[in-house]
Amino acid sequence: MAKFSIKIDNFSKTFGAIKAVQDLSFEVADGEVFAFLGTNGSGKTTTIRCLLKIYQADEGKLLINGKEYSEELNSIIGYLPEERGLYRDVSVIDILSYTARLRGIDANEAMKRSLEYLDMVGLILHKDKQISQLSSGMQQKVQLGTALIHNPEILILDEPFKGLDPVNRQLYVDLLTEKGKKGATILYSTHVIDEAQKMADRLLIIKDGVRLEYGSVNEVRARHGSKNIYIEFGSWAPAEKNDLYTAIITNKTAELIPNKDVTEDEILKNLLEQGVKLISFNLDYPSLNQVFIEIMK
């Protein structure tokens, strides 16, 4: 029987006349990477803040390791808030080592971990700069470092990829995936839906404070249509739409959504007739990105 690091039951929160979250329930198992998905204003941040007692819930139970949040859990939790909360006139290395000290790590070890982290994420040459001298993406790396520096068992990350370019986003996807493989529990909210499909074990999609989807990535994808066609192609792109399919084209790849009763053989023949040079042709369920857009419509 699975143990749950995070368990939320029948949670509701209002701000005046606004129902931010309504009767929300979900669980995050030990060692699971769990994606919390929704548009701006859907209730993700409110849920995370109530879980950590930054806000008080109106109704429901929000538990971490079977208990309501208290300061004694700080040593096992790494929290990244949505807004950046770094002292702007303090150096990068001082911020990280100070945060590590607050988590009970001695001065020498705090400095060692801080330098190792900065080297790993490509900030070692900026260690003595003040936060105000860094770009938005660099500041996000430092903020992430404050959540990771004490190697917590549970990571609660609100928009961890915010402000990161594609290269650095992949760096942190790899880093967090590795932490998940080593047993860390990760609950994170994001707008980067494609990465959630690759990274998450399970997910929750919320809209206007109400749960719309919940389950493993493939379970959710399978509930929203039959298998689509995924292709890689050469210089000649396929038509975006015709009598057989609708395509979502990105660079040299495309997701083709067949029209009703159209077979993959018919689409393959049509692509070749168009002169599309196919590098790969695969069947899979609708992408999580397509599911998300469909739900939000």
d(C-alpha 198, C-alpha 196), whole Å: 5
d(C-alpha 294, C-alpha 288), whole Å: 10
CB 278 within 8 A of CB 232: yes
- CATH (one of 3.40.50.2300, 1.10.3720.10, 3.40.50.300, 3.40.1280.10) for 4-222: 3.40.50.300
With a pLDDT cut of 70, the percent of the chain lying above it is 99
What number is the average pLDDT over the span 245-260? 93
- For the chain, the three-class secondary structure string (H helix, E strand, C coil) is CCCEEEEEEEEEEEECCEEEEEEEEEEEECCCEEEEECCCCCCHHHHHHHHCCCCCCCEEEEEECCECCCHHHCCCEEEECCCCCCCCCCEHHHHHHHHHHHCCCCHHHHHHHHHHHHHHCCCHHHCCCEHHHCCHHHHHHHHHHHHHCCCCCEEEEECCCCCCCHHHHHHHHHHHHHHHHCCCEEEEEECCHHHHHHHCCEEEEEECCEEEEEEEHHHHHHCCCCCEEEEEECCCCCCCECCCEEEEEECCEEEEEECCCCCHHHHHHHHHHHCCCEEEEEEECCCHHHHHHHHHC
Read off the pTM: 0.86
pLDDT in tens, 100-112: 999 999 999 999 9
Residue 235: its pLDDT value, please?
86
pLDDT in tens, 198-217: 899 999 999 999 999 999 99
pLDDT in tens, 94-143: 999 999 999 999 999 999 999 999 999 999 999 999 999 999 999 999 99
Domain edges within the chain: 4-222, 228-296
